[in-house]
A and B are shown apart, each in its own frame.
Chain A
Amino acid sequence: MIDKPISMKSNPILRGVTSITLGPILLFAWYVQWHGDYGPGGGFQAGVIFAAAIIAYALIYGLDRAQRFIPPKSAEIGVMAGWLLYIGTGVISMLLGANFLDYDVLASDPLHGQHYGILAVELGVGITVAAVMIVLFYAFAGRRHR
């Protein structure tokens, strides 16, 4: 027991519960992401929920299978992509002649502009938060394998 790492994969209850809840958790992450402008939620919370699902998957089914789903390299790129999406939105509004992160100019009228702007920025936050959590988990979980 001690010299061999215990696999949670062998526990049918854990496996069953995970396989049932994994899909709804991921779906809920998307709901929180896109519903952030109308109710509680937003990019940060959505990113955490999404990453939690991936981490749960890795805990039960093993790091290798999780990394087949989201390779470490993609997670690393995700950190940067979300970040650039956030700043990029700000830069686009600058190129359209307004101040940094002024969403008014992103659409024909300010109301829609603000709407699109906040969606893009929150998506950036969501991607980066999820990716950072996954990268951190991979970094700690992967230490044994070196």
Chain B
Amino acid sequence: MSAQLPILQLLFPLIAAPICSLLHNRNAAWLLSALATWASLATAIGLYYQTANGAELIYEVGGWPPPWGISVNIDSLNALVLLLITGMASVLVVAFPASLTIQWLGSRARLYYTAYLLCFASLIGITITGDAFNVFVFLEISSLSTYALVAMGRDRRAQLAAFRYLIMGTVGATFILISVGLLYMATGTLNMADLAERIPALHDSTVVRAAFGFFIVGAGVKVAMFPMHFWLPSAYSFAPSIASAFLAATATKVAVYVMLRFIFGVFGAELFFDVLALDQVFLALAVVGIVVGSLAALYQDDIKAVLAYSSVAQLSYMVLGIAVGTASGLTAAVVHIFNHGLIKAALFIVLAGIFVRFQCTRLSDLAGLGKFAPWTVGAFGVGAMSLIGIPGTAGFISKWYLLLSVLEHAWWFVALVIIASSLLALAYMWRVIDALWLKEPSQLVTERGREAPLRMLIPAWVLALANFFFGIDTTVTLGAAGRAVASLLGVSA
């Protein structure tokens, strides 16, 4: 049975989704989604231990061996990403029934759960597959279900945000498809491992270079890399808070994973760094993205928008880690994928809880909430500490390693940008904490100030405490990231 684990975690949500859409009882639909999510988590934990010795599991779908058949490949890198996706989903799924969207939808909530399960399944699919075309297919499934998740926000603007995301996401996915098509034209294969073997001989091929360009732009849209980030703030701000939490913790992280996998596991580091010198482009875009994202976060009134712009900056950290390209830089990027997922899940779930009580997340309306809801605002404070990177939290670990890797190159300017952006993060999070905790309570807060519902408060604190746990005990994150990077660089060497 353990040989079937790689495919099983995809199958749980994939089987649960259609059944869920037929369950008219809201609670039954939730229970099925939760069970499928937790089963996937259990499988991901099993896979993590199976790959803990650095082994790579290869599962042949349909019994056809790669490169002819489609394979599922699990190594240390995607085992860690899987742990993040399934772990975050397992905690967040607890909070779904308390969310207002689910309550408004009534018996149609089953469709929302179905969209969630599909998104969850496809994110797992993107992560585990060893086939370049499959990545595109699952990317499309995840995008389509994400549009549905985003569009269900209470506001009409959610639909506009979803539509903007649809336009950008479709362009991005099409670019990735063109890239995969060009690769197939140049090499005659779609299997990632097979592609990695054939591409080094084709470094001068215009087709392969064009494929790389299309891929970078397409994946850049999905990652929300700096000039292609415009969809992210509006999508995260107007989506239902619970969906924002899920997407912020998983979707963009999976996109960063795809970028890592294709650059190092398909196109090869040599093409990226030595032949095309794309690391310079990534470096420039990451630096600008960090500064612009942090500055924009400073001027938002909606707390969700603050977090969304901060995500743009934080995703740029990961891009920066890729640009550094050394073992330590990539380790920082991989660890930040995990830690930032943890941070944003904690912060967004608190906002989801606040939204249930006040139907708004505007800073000006929520002044002084801390006096009425110390636990809710406290969980937000812990998440904020981790986002800023205070020692002892998960956020500190990844920023510290990123800083060290940049200093290895003696890129003083970039190191300064990292420190400056941490100060900016302190500033924009302090604005929020100051308003929530220290200001005089607003009229709305005095009238309706209460703690968030327990179903959201408990997941929020679980995630907040996880930030401390992974800030102190780094064996899981740094260990897996170290092994992952070793295998990534091994493949490309």
Instruction: Enumerate chain A interface residues (CB-CB to B < 8 A).
Output: 76-77, 79-80, 83-84, 87, 90-91, 94, 98-104
Contact = CB atoms under 8 A, between A and B. Distances in A.
A135 B63 CA distance: 35
14 contacts: A76-B21, A79-B18, A79-B21, A80-B18, A80-B19, A83-B18, A87-B14, A87-B15, A90-B11, A91-B11, A94-B4, A100-B4, A102-B63, A104-B63
Given A98-B63, A101-B62, A102-B62, A77 B22 contact: yes
A84 B114 CA distance: 14
A79 to B, nearest CB: 8
A5 B14 CA distance: 42
B59 A87 contact: no
Contacts of A80: 18-19, 21-22
B13 to A, nearest CB: 11
B21 A99 contact: no
A99 B4 contact: yes
B18 A84 contact: yes
B279 interface: no
Contacts of A90: 11
B21 to A, nearest CB: 6
Contacts of B402: none
A40 to B, nearest CB: 21
Contacts of A91: 11, 15
Tell me if B's interface is mostly helix, strand, loop or mixed: helix
B179 to A, nearest CB: 24
Interface residues of B, number: 14
A84 B19 contact: yes
B19 A99 contact: no
B159 to A, nearest CB: 16
Contacts of B15: 84, 87, 91
B63 A99 contact: yes
Contacts of B62: 99-103
Contact of A100 (B11, B18, B21, B22): B11
A79 B17 CA distance: 12
A100 to B, nearest CB: 5
Contacts of A102: 62-63
B28 interface: no
Contacts of A87: 11, 14-15
B407 interface: no
Contacts of A84: 15, 18-19
A99 B61 contact: yes
A98 B4 CA distance: 9
